Structure 1
């Protein structure tokens, strides 16, 4: 899986290695579905502070196209973890939905015979 990291904020840039490790860890069981992941981190309010650290995760999937999830939190790590958790849940639901559709098709085809 290719992991791309984008950020203009110096504190977020320090998290480049951590971000790549977290993406690979969270998506380790789904990496066959996701050949490319792009993580963008930005500070919404700038130096004013507050709950304004934004992490956007874009996953390029083979079957579903692009999946984009964003999260806002008070620190970079929390925003990253929340966005990755939401993305992983979405991919699991997508994968399960595909299994259910195949199972229904097989059942329908076998009933026709």
Structure 2
């Protein structure tokens, strides 16, 4: 999997190695489905602080198309982790929809518990 990192913020750029490692770790099961990933960090409010650290993941897949997930948090690590959690959930759900089950489910017959008419 090829992972591209982008950040215009100096503090976000310091997270480069950690974020690349976290993306590869979180998507290790889905590597065959996600050949390209892009991580973008941006500071929405600038140096004012608050919940303004934005992490955007753009995952390009062959079967599900392009999946873009963004999250806001107070720090970079939390924003990255939230994006990765949502991205893996969305990807696994979309991949489960595209794959058809090999065996069909057989409905179990309802159990007859008796008439239940007691006087």
Equivalent residue, structure 1, for 2:98: 98
> How much has 1:98 moved relative to structure 2?
1.6
- Please list every run of at least 4 consecutive aligned residues from structure 1 whose deviation after the TM superposition is greater than 6 angstroms: none
> How much has 1:63 moved relative to structure 2?
1.0
Equivalent residue, structure 1, for 2:37: 37
- Cα distance in 1 for residues equivalent to 2:101 and 2:62: 20
* TM-score, length basis structure 2: 0.84
The count of corresponding residues between Structure 1 and Structure 2 is: 104
> How much has 1:103 moved relative to structure 2?
2.8
Q: Answer 1 or 2: which has greater helix percent.
A: 1
Correspondence list, 1:1-113, <5 A: 1-99=1-99, 102-103=100-101
- Cα distance in 2 for residues equivalent to 1:22 and 1:103: 31
> How much has 1:69 moved relative to structure 2?
0.2
In structure 1, runs of 5+ residues without a counterpart are 108-113
* TM-score, length basis structure 1: 0.88
- Cα distance in 2 for residues equivalent to 1:81 and 1:29: 16
In structure 2, runs of 5+ residues without a counterpart are 105-119
- Cα distance in 2 for residues equivalent to 1:103 and 1:81: 31
- Cα distance in 2 for residues equivalent to 1:30 and 1:72: 24
